[in-house]
A = this chain, B = another copy of it.
Amino acid sequence: MELLKKRILEEGEVIEPNILKVDRFLNHQIDVALYVEIGKELANRFKDKKIDKILTVEASGIALACFCSNALNQQPVVYAKKDDSKIISENTYSHPVHSFTKNKTSNIRVDKKFFSEDENILIIDDFLANGQASLGLASIVNQAKANVVGIGIVVEKGFQQGRSLLEKEGYKVESLAIIDHFENGKVIFR
């Protein structure tokens, strides 16, 4: 997606060797016009699939998944929760996910009532790096005996193992921008 790559080149910042900061338009401040276009492009990548629901994880995946849904048929979006809350029931599918950028492991959880056997679930997330979040979401879909239609990602770090782990499980992965590597603090796309 050229519009997204342009914004990453113009406004992304490489901090630490392997961290890309895109907080000016993607995951702290949101450029809503860009989000609408990202939603359309994610929808476009999966437009031939039967999709009953979209699954993502809080926080930064939620609005992206919603705009993708809005560009498809407004399918329900379910987001896995990271925190303990009185609101969520005990009756959940869950999976531990380690976040590298937050340096902590959260048990992501989805209330069992939201997925039925054989439903077709599209997974959406903002970043794909080591694949832990997407694998956790796919595990939740599998626990529900539902089907993973595919995994739509906004920014993929192509030099990490996420994609190969997901493809090894048979999942179709579509990323709107794939970073091949960082070079002197610059982003080089594949």
Contact = CB atoms under 8 A, between A and B. Distances in A.
Interface of A: 15-16, 19, 21, 23-24, 27-33, 35-36, 58-60, 62-63, 66-67, 69-70, 74-79, 81, 83-88, 101-103, 110-111, 113-114
A86 B62 contact: no
B114 A28 contact: yes
Contacts of A84: 102
A102 B75 contact: no
Given A19-B87, A29-B78, 19 more contacts: A15-B87, A24-B113, A28-B79, A28-B81, A29-B77, A29-B111, A29-B114, A32-B66, A33-B74, A36-B70, A58-B58, A59-B79, A60-B62, A62-B62, A63-B77, A83-B102, A85-B101, A85-B102, A86-B101
A161 to B, nearest CB: 20
